[in-house]
Structures are given as C-alpha cells and as structure tokens.
Structure 1
C-alpha cells in the first residue's frame, strides 16, 4: 500500500468568490495514474487500512502544496469514517503542517463518504475535536452522499459543498432550483458557506449568482492543475432574461454579510520583523496587507502595504526597520464578526481615521480568531451592484419591486412556516380606461393604486407589495394585516375622466404546508381572480389551497349569474373571512 501511495500525484483547483473575483482557497485533488483514487480507498477498506491510507493521502497533499509555496488556505479530502476515530489520527497531518510553517486554521477538512453509516454522536464528537485542533470543517458532495438532515444541521459545518450533479440541471430544472434555494436558506441561517462544485457552463454560473451562491469551483473558472493558481478570470453575468427559470436571491435589507466578500488573510506572528513582512509583500504583488496574530490566531496588528513599503523603502528605511519588530509600522486591527453586514462594515470604516479608510477589515470568528479580510473596494462595488440590481427590478411607473421579489418573499414565508395571504389586485376594465381617457390617464391611475398600496404597507409591518406589470399588483401579508390593507385600497372611490373605476382582489390564505412555492400560489390564484372579476363593483374574494370554498367579501353577483329565485349561482361564495 505505501508503494501505491507514492504513485499518487496532486492537482489543485481553486475555490472562487464571485463577489470579489478572488481565489479564497485551494483544494488538493489526488490523482492515481490509470485508476481513480476511490479505487485505492475501496482497496484500503478491504484491507482494513482506510485510516492509514486516508491520512497518508492528506499528508502527501500538504507536502505537495508546500513544494509550490502557496499561501492560500488548503482544502484536504478525508473520509468521515477516518475522522470518526478522533482527531488524534490526524497527528501526522498536524506535524507536517507545523514543519511547513502552516497553521491548522488555514486547513479545511472536507468530509465525504457515507455519514449515515456512522452514529451521529460519533460524528459530532469528531467534528468538535477537529475544531478544537484548529481545523475548519466542510461537508462534501452534498446530494451524492447520504448525509442525514439532522446531522447536516447539527454539525454546524463551516462549508457545505454541493455535488456537481445538483447544479447540472440549472437553470431549467425547477426542482433543483427549489432544492438549492432551501440550501441557501440553511447556509444563511447557520452562517455556513455554500460552495457549488463542478461549474462547467456560463448558464450554470449565472444561475448560481442569481440564487445567491457566491463560492464556486469548476473547470469554467479554473481546471485542476499541478501548480496552484491565485487568480482567475470570471465571466461577466449576462442578462437575467436568459435564465427565466431561476429566481433572484432573497433581497436582504441590510445588505449581504461581510463573509460574502472574504479574502484569505496572510498572517504572521506578532513577533515578525519588518524584513519578514517585506519579503511576504514582495513575493505577492497583489497582497494589500498582512495581519499579525498571537498564538491563538487573534489579530493584534494589521500592516497596510502602501504605508509599510513607503516607510521601509524610503531613505535609510531598511536600515532603520528591517531587523526590528514589524508592529512598529502597524495599526490596530479593525475587526468585525461573521454576522456583520456590508453596510455595518461601511459604518465602521466611516468612523475611523481618513488615512485608514481603505485599509482591510479583519473578520474574526466567535473565539476572536482571524478568518480572513475584506477589502473596502469590494464592499463598495458589491453594494453598488446590489443597488443597481434593485433599481433595475423596480417598475418604472410605481417604483415597486416586480414578481421575482414577491416570489422570494413568498418562498421565505413558506420556509419559515408562516400563515400568510397572497393577494392579486387589478383594475376592472383597464383597457377601457386607456381607450377612452388615454394612456396618460391610465398611467396616473396605476400610480394612484400603487401609492395606495405603498401607503397602506408603510403602516402595516408584514405587508410586501409588488407591481408585476400593467395594472396587476401582488400583495403578501400576515392575516391580521389583510383587512386594513384591503380597506385602505378598496374603500376610496376612484374616478377617471368622470368614469367610476373599480378594482378586483383575489386572496389566497396559505397555511404551513399548504403550498410549496410561488408557482403553485400563482396557479391557485388564477380561478379566484376569475370569480372576483365576475362580480360587480370593487370586489374581494378569498380562497384556500385544497378547498373549493370561495368567500365573497366584497362585490355583488351580476344578474346573469343569479338563479330564477334571485339566489347566487354559486352559493359557496357567501361567507366571511373565517
């Protein structure tokens, strides 16, 4: 078996942050000439030597990365069964890391294999031991391996890596889109990074951007290579109209989390000399600074590239500083936690010395350890792009968001198990308004309805309003806010060019588990809307998934829809909100 291990070679594939365009880590991929590495692992299982072989591969991966002198964080693949024996089995990995001058915090262990065959307590205990040893933990090949859902939540993994088969159907496969949306939601709530693996085509990349997956890996960006690469070229996103099957990521009012802009930090001990810092900066021309840390990886100082080099390269600078501690030319770090939003980072920056306004900000974990740095230029650019996307999605007449934003609000409420109502509102006979009063009067009417909805929503915290085109509006609200919203919109009389105008509203009450997505809500609203349009005056009808009952809450039945005795043709329309 050792002879076979000696034949293994390693290729390195970068993990790329789409928000910054930077390489954030490098995965070491084992290559066995003429065979797949899984064949080697299967043979090791048969000989009861899996731990020995698995750890041996990890040691050789670190050795190969060290030969290429890469400073990027390293990802190593391990079988879950291996780590279930405890962190002690990884002592050889820690030893070679120490010999190479690397910290365990710079290494992420990607756990693969069949976790369902292991006791959950065993896996959780092993993960805790790995974290205590300083390693970061990722769950690998989600969608291809059997990871119990409870374990997926309980491990609190730093990264969740999607199997390439999960993204293969993007953007057309609606079921895959829904699954990815759920995983994005899980990752956001658990503060884990979500990595899409196997990105091979531009349409997949565009779909992942729109879904909110910002960490990717695949041949489209950079294939696995013998030498690690620290920069890649990312395709510019094309128009969203090319991917109609994929929805936009859920908008976050306070902006994205700072971790979405994370760069790997280059760290040195707080005792490092100015000459050691200078050599690191000279070897990496794109590096903006260095973080000086203590023995627990907590940031003590940050060294800004420009100010440092001005000091050491000026007259007598090298003689004055080279052998002395680098912290003499450093600044106190600006640190933020992983839950900090991009807007909050900008607030921190605004309150600091103008000379340091564009210095990197250090992101720390709950223990205060350095996770990486964010560059202010990335955050400013990211926030600007977010604002442009938001503005482009607004209806030009009412400045209300469109159907994508409404869809995500619906999906959020479904995922949270809320009871809510979705309403579809439009103007009765709107074409007649345009034909008789002119399109300008029609535009004014649409603006007036939009203002009524916006004003009502401002006073009702649960209400979300969207303008999906023409005279059609969508509203989403908790049940307690539905009646005051409807009153605010339907009560005021509306007149255009001396002609009374009425509105029709169809509402679907959604209980937890009654609907699966926005598309189903849309289909169920369509027949309700037909009933509402058949009524006289401003109308409001309400229905529920799985029930044929339709409650008429406003409007009267037209004579043609009454029976000879004067009763409605559809007696189930009578009723109240209950």
Structure 2
C-alpha cells in the first residue's frame, strides 16, 4: 500500500472521489499520530481539518450549523480516504464526526464508494463521537454505532471525561478506543492519593473492558512520564510524534523506546483482599443527635475524623470533621446549626460498601466521587449493618501493600506473577478441589526474532504478549482468572473450563493479526526471517506465532504435580507442531483430569 504524497489527487480513485457532488471543495487535512508505547510504533492516525473558515461563507443557512458540520465531515472523509493506501497493515484512521454526519445523505454513499474503490478493509477505520454527544437521549446514535461494529468498523469515544469513564456508560457503548481528556489525568494532587486511586481505575478499565485507552495532549516529556506511570499504553501529542499531511511511521522519534511503557505500572489487583478486613470501628451517633452532640464527640480529634450517623445500626449518613467545621465557621454558623439535628448537614449519600467487596473495586468507586468528597471516609457494612469505616489513607496503604506483595514474585519485565505465585495458586486449587482449565502459552520462533532484531525488540514482543493475554482474559474470562509468567516466552493462564476455548480462539486470532506490526514491510511480505538455528546453521524461520495447550483438571490434595506437568508439556508440544497460531485442548482422560471438552483451532 504505497502512494506518492505529492500525487495523492492524481490517481484514479481520488479523482472519482473528488468529482462527487459535495457542497464544499475538499478541505486540507492533517494526520495526528497515536502511538503504541509498548510496540514503539504508530497505530492510529486522527484526521483533522486544517481550517474550515473559508468554507463557511454562504454555504448553509445560519440557523442550521449542524448541516455545515456534517457536510464538512463528509468532505473531510473523502479527502482522508485518498490517503488510506499509505496505512500500514495494522494502521487505522480515526474520524471525529458530528452526530448529524451519520445521517447525512452523502455520508454512506461516499464511505461505500471509497471502501470499494481503494479497496479498504473496514477494520482500518475508526469513527469517533465526543462523549458529550453520546447522551442517553440519543438512542438513534447508539443504534447507528452498534450497527457499524458488525460490519468491521471501529468506534472511538472521544474526549472522555470522568463521567464518560463510568463502568455503566462504557458497558453500554463498548468502544474499541477511548481517547481520554488529558485534564482527567494532569490535575496536580497535593499528595499521591489521587494518582494511586487513578492508577487502580485505569488498570481495571484496560483489563476488564478490553478497549484501548489513549490520552491526547502529551506535549512535554514530564507529561509522557506521568501517563506512563499511570499505565496508559496509547498516547498522542507533540512529545510522541508531530502531525503530517499523510500517515507515516517515520515521524516517530528514535528516542521513543527510552520512554516505553513499564509493564510493572498499574499491576492487576486480582488478589486484592476484601475491604472488610481493613475496617476500623469509628465514631458513631444516632440520626437524632444534634450538631452540638457531634461536636463533643469530635473534640480533640484530627480534622480528618468522621462520625457515622446510624438508624437502627444501619448507616444513613456521614459527617466529616472538616465539613462540620466549614458549616460552623460560616456567618452565624453556631446559631444556625448547633442545636439542630445533625441530619441537616450530614452527607446523605456517603460511599457505603459491603465487607466482602474487593479492595480494588472500592478504590475505583472512591476515585469516581466528586472532588469535594474525594477524601471522605468509606463506610463498611456487614449484611446491611454498620461494621466500621475506612479512611482514604488506609485504603492507599492497603493498595500499596498489595502491590508490594505482588511485585515480590512478579516477572521483572511483564509484572505478571512468577513461579512462586503460580505454585501458590495451584496449591490453593488443590486445597479447594477446584475444576480449572490450565492454558499454557508459548511463542514459536521467538529466538529467531530475538537474534534478528535484538533483545530490546524481543522484550517489546514479550510485553505485548503479556498485555494481549491480559486484555483477552478481561474480554473472555471471569475476574477469578489467574495469569502467570513462567519465564522467557512461556505463560500460564488458569480459568474456568467453559471460558478456555473462547479465550484461546480470541488470543490466537488477535495475535496473528497484530504480530505483523513487529516486522518491516519486506519481511512481512516474504513471510520469514533468515537466522541461525541452535546448531549455528542458517535457516528460514516463519514469523512469530503463539501456541496454546489447554488441560482441564479437577484439582484435589492428592494430585501429583508431576503428572500435570507431563500432560501440559505433551499438549503444548502438540500445539507447537501445528503450523501458525494454534490452540489444542486435551481430550484424554487420566485420574484427576476431566475431558468435558475437546477441540483444536488455528488462526
């Protein structure tokens, strides 16, 4: 897919597109790169109009500005499609559209014509809508976006703010890409509390939703480091790559790999303890108590202390010391409030969580609170009754401890649990007699890739594989799925038997699609690399592929781990004997093993 940029409008396809009936001349556009910080390459180019002021004069009636925007969108689409042949194999164009553009009479026609003439695969196009335009009152727009997905087009949530990143909203629209508002992440907290909570939220979004999360406005080196520390993989801005008149990988700075994403950033908190283990018995009062009685309880207490107001031992409100001081320090505050019921000034909607709620889930909910409540205590209940409270400081200390414990046995490159944690997890399965599918993942021809392109490129591929396994597990498996890194290019996944095949099929297909981005175009075309085998003889090696072996196991205390290891090794070797990306499920029966499922697959 090559095209001379100086002759973009001279080829047959472009002339046909330009000759279509449009209300405006084709606008000039620039392509703003969005880089993948793991692979160290540009994956998406956002299409932006350079200027539209000359197109505004006498073109539409002033009482219909949406007509202007949608017409400009159609013209922009036409111009950008002409540059689509320059896209790399896995590249995508991102179009930010006005909601009315989807209903524009020329939109579907020009899109279909451009896709047919070029030709262009739908997976190369992402259509973006601003988060503020995706209101629940727009059911028609929701239907249109959902209709695009089965046809292969992608959908991007553009300029996502805190409200748009709510789990319920994201589950409803399920975007392929989230281009977040940088202001959401660049507010400077007085301490590390907001950053720690935000990291937990971002990690969970990437792991559970399966969407790519990107941030724009990365213009300085300090911004770049800030977002990397939050675990954000995709970025756009002057510190990443400059805009250009056509899509190009050449714009990516050579120094970019120095800033690439650390796999240890924002580790998955799958083993988080339950929040009830951290609850402390705080100060309580009756819903009928006066403000004066609350003041007495809080005498000589720190400004971060709180009182939980109860009704029949059920929490109905919260009064933080600093909120109370704010009310009483206002003009006539004592006269207005002291003898009144505390219910008049309490927070009637405090954050309340059951004692069995995982700590990471509590952290995400705490981060989503309004700024004025961000540091309020969290109330803990047991069967609806008051069990205690948890401060934000206590929450952060617990999160830090979890991360430290996870890091002790983690692989230093990918941040995934290592062999010690894997053995502990298998011990847990034996004790609980769990029925689990063990999936062993191994890269084929990785040594040849490493020898050809160097250890740095090899590390990027391992990090890519680890992140892809995480994303696939988030999409196909339950929250109790465990992912471990045995070492080198070997990974293990423990998941439910009914989820194993969906995981294996999705992982092999996605890996086959995305791995081409690690190779230069000439090697992709020839389909192999020239390297030396283990005996030092020159040999042609295929591109790296992934092989998965699935063993269904009924763990029990008497299960011999040697039998399990032998079975896993056999099924993994059988998978590796198949050409390309493949997965195999063991169908044999042995003591302690089940054979409820059996199948093979390849991508």
Larger radius of gyration: 1
- TM norm structure 2: 0.38
